[in-house]
Amino acid sequence: MSTIQTRIATLADLGVIAPLFDAYRQFYLQEPDLDLAKRFIHARLQNDESVILLASSEAQAVIGFCQLYPSFCSVEAKPTYTLYDLFVNPQARRSGAGTVLLQAAEKLAAARGKARMDLNTAKTNKPAQAAYEALGWVRDEEFYAYSKSVDV
């Protein structure tokens, strides 16, 4: 198994993050739109609204990322992270990059005083579910998640 390194992304990494983010969106059935991906990631990093961890192979090529959004748990009255995006290039899957990213996110959350991390994944994404559960993530059996689009 090759060595996977992680680091926190900066605006200088926009050119490598945007294509990965665009591919991530396409995985979730969105149309390709690299310009949208660039604008979205640029705004998140510029405004310090998310933390993006990058995974690199031994050859220093960026092969994956995860994006964490700061949030809060009102019940616990503590800060949390929402792990919203996790993506590894299809060619690099089964390299351990996803696991390394999840472990790096957990270490970062602990170092930054977050009480926990939350995530959602597609019901059909069985490989991701298995990876999460192998690392100690617990599927919520108590609450339903809802969302509603808002006209803007």
Q: Is the dihedral of CA 86, 52, 23, 97 positive or negative?
A: negative
Residue 2 is predicted with a pLDDT of 62
The answer to whether residue 69 sits within a structural domain is yes
Residue 88 is predicted with a pLDDT of 94
Q: Specify the number of domains making up the chain.
A: 1
Nearest Cα to Cα of residue 121 among 24, 14, 4, 38: 24
The answer to whether residue 152 sits within a structural domain is no
- Mean pLDDT for each 10-residue chunk of the chain (152 residues)? 88 97 95 98 97 90 96 96 95 91 97 96 90 94 90 88
The answer to whether residue 141 sits within a structural domain is no
C-alpha torsion angle, residues 106, 112, 114, 117 (rounded to 10): -30
The answer to whether residue 146 sits within a structural domain is no
Domain containing 28 equals: 5-134
Residue-wise pLDDT for 99-122, tens only, equals: 999 999 999 999 999 999 999 998
Residue-wise pLDDT for 25-40, tens only, equals: 999 999 999 999 999 9
**What CATH number is associated with residue 53?**
3.40.630.30
The answer to whether residue 142 sits within a structural domain is no
Residue 119 is predicted with a pLDDT of 95
The answer to whether residue 43 sits within a structural domain is yes
The answer to whether residue 10 sits within a structural domain is yes
Residue 130 is predicted with a pLDDT of 92
